[in-house]
Structure 1
Amino acid sequence: MAAEPVVGTVVEPGDEVGEFVFAAPDGQAVSTGEFVAYSQSTGGNSDEVVLARVSDREREAGLPASFMTDPDVDAGRVATALGAEADGGELYRITAEVIGYYDPGFESFRNPRQLPDTGTRLHRAPGEMLEVVIPNVTPPGFREEGDPDPGMAWMGRLLNRADEKVTVELPVNEVAATHLAILASTGSGKSYTASVLLEEMLKPATRAAVLVFDPHGEYDSLDQMCDHSAFEGTDGYRPSAEIRKPDQLSVKLADLTYADLRSILNPTERMASVLSDAYDDLRGEDAFTANDLEQACHRNHPDGDASGLKWRINRNLQQSDFFDAYDRLDLDALVNPGQVTVLRMDGLSRRDQQVMAAVLLRKLYKAREAAVVGDPDDVRTPIEHPVFTLFEEAHRFAPDGDSQALSIIRQVNSEGRKFGIGTGLISQRPSKLDQTVLSQCGTQITMQIKNPNDQQAIRDSVEGAGTAVLDELPGLTKGQAVISGDAVNTPVLTKIRERHTEHDAENLKADQLWREAYDDAQNTPSRSAPADTDDGSVFGGGEEL
């Protein structure tokens, strides 16, 4: 640490618990989000290197008054160390939050429960130290011999270090196990950031099983991983990508619950009673058709009560290509280690998107539960490995309101960790997300957000979003993020790395599309012409109107 420059001197305790204030000259690059370090005795045989994170800074003329009144502090010596004059000069009054030091006995960071003394010199935290201590994972030097290296996701670099490349990595296990929220305004790079994470999860060190719910068709380019050298393993490993287009998506009728059917058919109370009886008759069947459901309704209520319901079944199920008697989405084909499956749902209605998400999540939950605690009779094939699911436009699936997928997403976020099911929720409108679901996401990647309602939703629901995180959000630019929560030991400002694969989620260029559409229209013969009739009337006879 001695090789790092002195950036400031401690002045006094801060206003909040665990905060202290230090003075730094105008010339020192100590911006918000930067990390500083100092040595402090914690009762052991040697001093510990304690880390702190800069949370605020303000300009102050001359040395702080506390220096001038403290007899134990030589103001002249401090001024010399800071490169300022004792009787004047411009300094910054900077507030920092104590992070702590790594305690191998606890395998985590510990707060020393005491602030540095006034006059303590602060150094810029070494980059190599930050690369080790930012991720919430046991540092290499403290791991047991023979323990495998944890899978790490390289997300980018420390934003504040322009003069050196400090890598920011996240432990994949923490991200998947504690669930993830990526929150950002439109155009800030949330889908890009999600794709970076998926690339990392599909590299040889992790080989994850990932299922993406994609309402807009933004993740097709992930199939480029299959032939990219960055994803090749020394054992011949290459990831696979399965892109399911809208016409390849359907839901098996027998996988629907009674609540699903009520949502789809929207029956009256009288019809609902008929539907309930018919569903009870068919519930044990491995497969049934819409016609089977109609017949079950008539069988239980031959007096005519089922006639209106049969019309709804015919219109919503029989005539739909989305609902099928057979399973076209077998979990064995969708979720395999080293494979990302993208469900392109851009051709489906919002209701159908929610129904599909609900059905697949319920099946995944049961399959993983069967693998972990036993093999119940209603699960055909247990899934023997963890699965990570990613929901683009998550407010479609888990809105602050009604959704067929909301209850199972809540259940997975609440209990999925013990069964190895992780979720990632991506949204541009945190205030439109179910606040219970948002609060269950232990790791957050938050990008530029200016809407006050969305900022308030993050403040209310995201445990790791302190004032320091929220204050950064409006000033972030595209590709910049605050990573916080369970996967890191402290919030960290990050510049997201460039993708290995191309990005397909760029905004539509309206001016270009208008010009192309106009040119196409000019070059296409008109397909509408007046009908040719004997009497010259467009309507083929009758009195002139």
Structure 2
Amino acid sequence: MKTLGTVISNEKGPTTMGFDFAISDLSVRKGQFVQIDDADNSIIARVDEIYKTNRYFSRTDSVIEYERSGKPISELFPVDRWEYLVGSCSILGMFSSNQIKRVTFPPSPGSTVRTVDEKLLEKFLGFDQKGLFVGKLSFHDLESRLNLSRLLQKHVAILAMSGAGKSHLVGVIIEELLEMEGLKPAIIVLDPHGEYTKFAHDPFYRKYTKIFNEENIKIGVSTLKASNYADFLELTHAQKRELAKVLQNMKKENYDIDHLIAEVDASGIKSPTKENLSGALMSLKSFGFFDKHTRPAPDYLAKQGQLSVMDLSNFIELKERQIIATYFIKNLFYQRRMEKIPPFLLVIEEAHQFCPEGKKEEAISRGIIETIAREGRKFSASLMLVSQRPIRLSTTVLSQCNTHIVLRVTNPYDLDHIGQSSEGMSRELIKDLPSLKTGEAVIVGEAVNYPVMINVRDKKIKSEK
């Protein structure tokens, strides 16, 4: 391991929380992990900041007085010889007897600071050699491989401004899931912009991919209850009660929306409830995706090792997308609870559209998404929420995502929201988020033992389209 510098004593420490060190190797970078060895223990720390110091410029009054002489201070004194780089580090923990422990005694001034042992760092951060390869640890030649269960079991949120690389990262994770050995989850993507349809045009990934769009996404009318219509249409109590009676009297065979409207019109429902109910059902008919049969069926949508992309790009109205999301997500979760479909990962792009903070009436799909966020772990139903506006995303859902992967964010309101909702996201990391380059990401939470910054790897997918 290469020597990087020496721990110094100053007014800040060293303490059990951190230390400063005089840098002797100019390769040291902010965000880098470093190591101090003491007997059989290894302290792991992260460089939070790098600053310069020079004794000739330490007193403002002296600098001003010398400058008044008409000559730069650099001509009067050998200032270059007294300029030093200092790294300010926060201590993360200690490896002792092959266990991670809390540091209860500070390192000594004069201790040597070295580059961290990569194998030790891999264990310390909780990377998994057989995990999902999402990129490389910034400033280190170490692959960031995330344990599948730790990443997905308690849900994950991927947050970033537009153009920062969040969809690229999601694509990388999907590639890893499709290529992994052993039991694979079913992957279902709610895709408002059709970004993930490219998997169907890749020579390798096409065999794992199914695309569903406006041509083959249908909701079977005969599968719906009055409560479903109440969600879709915000029915009054009277309308819901009368519709329930109509549905109960209808035949068991499959029927379409026209048949249902005709039954309502022919019923003995009093005005104006009948007219309002019939008009509401007509508005559903205008969407064009209510049919006799549901397509795709839950067991066709959620297949082990299959990527199912629900391309919603041609469903223009937000309410259309929310109705589709509500219906299919409820079906998927019900089928999973009954163990009729395999464990699944539900990826929701533009999650703030489907699960916003605010009134339930503003997003009918919010309720079922919050239910999965709270209860999905018990049934191996995982969420991956992707959003460019974290502040608009339901705090209930965001707080249930135990791993947050954050790329570049510049909006101060979003930054404040991330700071409040992401455990382990320190002030220093929050300050770094606006300056991240495209493809750089900070991972905090369940998937890693300590916050890490990574460079997301390139995607393998090659679209023939």
| TM-score range for the pair, normalised by the shorter chain length | 0.7 to 0.9
Q: Is this contact kept in 2: 1:188–1:477, CA < 8 A? A: yes
- Aligned CA RMSD, in angstroms, stands at 3.2
Q: Which residue number in structure 1 is paired with residue 302 of structure 2?
A: 335
Q: Do the aligned partners of residues 250 and 18 (structure 1) sit closer, same or farther apart at CA in structure 2, a change above 3 Å counting?
A: farther
- 1:244 lines up with 2:212 in the alignment: yes
Alignment match of 1:100 (pick from 93, 107, 116): 93
Alpha-carbon deviation of 1:126?
2.3
- Structure-to-structure mapping, 1:170-209, within 5 angstroms: 170-205=146-181, 207-209=184-186
Give me the whole-angstrom Cα distance separating, in 2, the residues matched to 1:403 and 1:109. Answer: 44
Give me the whole-angstrom Cα distance separating, in 1, the residues matched to 2:10 and 2:373. Answer: 42
Q: Do the aligned partners of residues 264 and 11 (structure 1) sit closer, same or farther apart at CA in structure 2, a change above 3 Å counting?
A: same
- 1:49 lines up with 2:42 in the alignment: yes
- Structure-to-structure mapping, 1:399-418, within 5 angstroms: 399-401=356-358, 402-418=362-378
Q: Which residue number in structure 1 is paired with residue 17 of structure 2?
A: 19
Q: TM-score, normalised by structure 1?
A: 0.73
Structure 2 unaligned blocks of 5 or more: 59-77
Q: Is this contact kept in 1: 2:225–2:244, CA < 8 A? A: no
Alpha-carbon deviation of 1:414?
1.2
The residue type equivalent to 1:99 in the other structure is L
Q: Is this contact kept in 1: 2:5–2:24, CA < 8 A? A: no
Secondary structure, in 3 states, of the residue corresponding to 2:5? Answer: strand
Q: Do the aligned partners of residues 298 and 14 (structure 1) sit closer, same or farther apart at CA in structure 2, a change above 3 Å counting?
A: farther
Alpha-carbon deviation of 1:197?
0.8
Give me the whole-angstrom Cα distance separating, in 1, the residues matched to 2:96 and 2:7. Answer: 25
- Structure-to-structure mapping, 1:106-125, within 5 angstroms: 109-125=100-116
- Higher relative contact order (Cα pairs below 8 Å, separated by 6+ residues): 2
Secondary structure, in 3 states, of the residue corresponding to 1:188? Answer: coil
- 1:160 lines up with 2:160 in the alignment: no
Q: Which residue number in structure 2 is paired with residue 515 of structure 1?
A: none
The residue type equivalent to 2:131 in the other structure is M
Give me the whole-angstrom Cα distance separating, in 1, the residues matched to 2:242 and 2:368. Answer: 26
- Structure-to-structure mapping, 1:10-409, within 5 angstroms: 10-11=8-9, 19-25=17-23, 27-40=25-38, 47-61=40-54, 89-101=82-94, 109-135=100-126, 151-161=130-140, 165-205=141-181, 207-224=184-201, 227-228=203-204, 240-256=208-224, 258-267=226-235, 270-278=238-246, 287-294=254-261, 297=264, 301-348=268-315, 349-371=317-339, 382-383=340-341, 385-401=342-358, 402-409=362-369
Alpha-carbon deviation of 1:254?
4.2
Give me the whole-angstrom Cα distance separating, in 1, the residues matched to 2:9 and 2:254. Answer: 73
Secondary structure, in 3 states, of the residue corresponding to 2:242? Answer: helix
Give me the whole-angstrom Cα distance separating, in 1, the residues matched to 2:211 and 2:14. Answer: 50
Deviation digits for residues 142-201 of structure 1 (CA, Å, limit 9, x no counterpart): xxxxxxxxx51111112224xxx3211111221110211111111111111110111011
Alpha-carbon deviation of 1:124?
1.4
Q: Is this contact kept in 2: 1:13–1:21, CA < 8 A? A: no
Q: Do the aligned partners of residues 336 and 270 (structure 1) sit closer, same or farther apart at CA in structure 2, a change above 3 Å counting?
A: closer
Alignment match of 2:4 (pick from 6, 10, 24): 6
Give me the whole-angstrom Cα distance separating, in 2, the residues matched to 1:353 and 1:341. Answer: 16
Q: Is this contact kept in 1: 2:4–2:24, CA < 8 A? A: no
Q: Which residue number in structure 2 is paired with residue 516 of structure 1?
A: none
Structure 1 unaligned blocks of 5 or more: 42-46, 66-84, 141-150, 232-237, 372-381, 505-545
- Deviates most, 5-14 or 326-335: 5-14
Alpha-carbon deviation of 1:221?
1.5
Q: Do the aligned partners of residues 224 and 10 (structure 1) sit closer, same or farther apart at CA in structure 2, a change above 3 Å counting?
A: farther
Secondary structure, in 3 states, of the residue corresponding to 2:275? Answer: helix
Secondary structure, in 3 states, of the residue corresponding to 2:327? Answer: helix
Q: Is this contact kept in 2: 1:289–1:324, CA < 8 A? A: yes
Q: Do the aligned partners of residues 90 and 281 (structure 1) sit closer, same or farther apart at CA in structure 2, a change above 3 Å counting?
A: farther
The residue type equivalent to 1:271 in the other structure is Q
Q: Is this contact kept in 2: 1:12–1:20, CA < 8 A? A: no
Secondary structure, in 3 states, of the residue corresponding to 1:247? Answer: coil
Which structure's CA Rg is the greater one?
1
Alpha-carbon deviation of 1:310?
4.5
The residue type equivalent to 1:361 in the other structure is I
The residue type equivalent to 1:321 in the other structure is G
The residue type equivalent to 2:133 in the other structure is W
Give me the whole-angstrom Cα distance separating, in 1, the residues matched to 2:9 and 2:285. Answer: 75
